[in-house]
Amino acid sequence: MKFLIVIPAHNEENNLPFTLDSLQQQSYKDFKVVVANDGSVDGTADVIKRYTDLDSRFETIALQKSAHQPGSKVVNAFKKGLQTQKLDDFDIICKFDADIILSPNYLETIQTAFSENPEYGLVGGLLYVEKDGVWVYEGNSNKKHVRGPMKAYRKACFLEMGGLRETLGWDNIDSILLQNLGWEEIVLPELKVKLIKVKGADYTVKESDYYGRYFYFLGLNRFLAYIASCKEAMKSKSITFFFRIIKTYENCRSEKLELKLTKEEQKVINNQRWKTLKNKWLKI
């Protein structure tokens, strides 16, 4: 099986070499890497050139800098990179971040999982971050969800679900849509992926605004959005946090901001959220 790996990168000169080195060191060699250079103004282009000059499996596309919107920016760059290739030539499509380090057997293990399990649509490992010189599990509560920095899709699954959506929440939307189509999302805990920097560090949006927009662009109806906002407020132990989230969510509704989801997909997402709520929180 052949991999197409697209890596969106913006000002990643210090991190990208670790990612590309870890790809060159893979035990599985049948892959193509496209680095989508999203308007970098540092030495990212020079870093990329070091690899494209010496290894024909590495290519790049130079993009104009896009607006820094959580979710949409990275998916837009990913799609631009994807468009440079003929998808018929590949079996597995990966969206990797420019600041991760993969273990040498990463692609080989992913390929084996797909080959032996035709129902697998999305496969990945677990994220680890460095704390006090030690790599520790990132701590995301859902160990059954493949995180955004290291997505590997079976091409048939990727195409059937319509690819990735240029919106906040894209890396949860994909999970819901592919499972609704009958594909499985699988996390292989033995695969440890090192995340060099913490995601979200560059975002300027307020946390309450982030959640309000996230719940809106995820397509949640008002009832489920309010429940989700309540859960976040409980974590923060702040009732005002709840009202700030709701205010942002309602502003998005009143402005009728464009959703990247069809009505049917919104229905699927809300049904899945309601099912999770009943099973996990209401014990129904």
Residue type, 235: K
- Interacting residues of 23 by C-beta distance below 8 A, sequence separation 6+: 5, 31, 33, 102, 107
Give the torsion through C-alpha atoms of 201, 146, 139, 275, to 10 deg: 110
SS3 of 69, please? coil
DSSP per position, 162-187: TS--SSTTHHHHHHHHHHHTT-EEEE
**Confidence (pLDDT) at 281:** 63
Q: What average pLDDT values come out for the chain (284 residues) when binned by 10 residues?
A: 97 96 98 97 97 98 76 90 97 98 98 98 96 88 89 98 94 96 97 80 71 96 96 93 97 95 95 86 57
**Confidence (pLDDT) at 141:** 63
Q: Is the dihedral of CA 109, 115, 117, 118 positive or negative?
A: positive
**Confidence (pLDDT) at 93:** 98
Task: Write down the pTM of the prediction.
Answer: 0.90
Please give the Cα distance from 235 to 258 (Å, whole number): 29
| Domain 3-195 in this protein, CATH class | alpha beta
Phi, psi of 38, rounded to the nearest 5 degrees: -90, 70
**Confidence (pLDDT) at 66:** 67
**CATH 3.90.550.10 domain position(s) in the chain:** 3-195
**Confidence (pLDDT) at 201:** 47
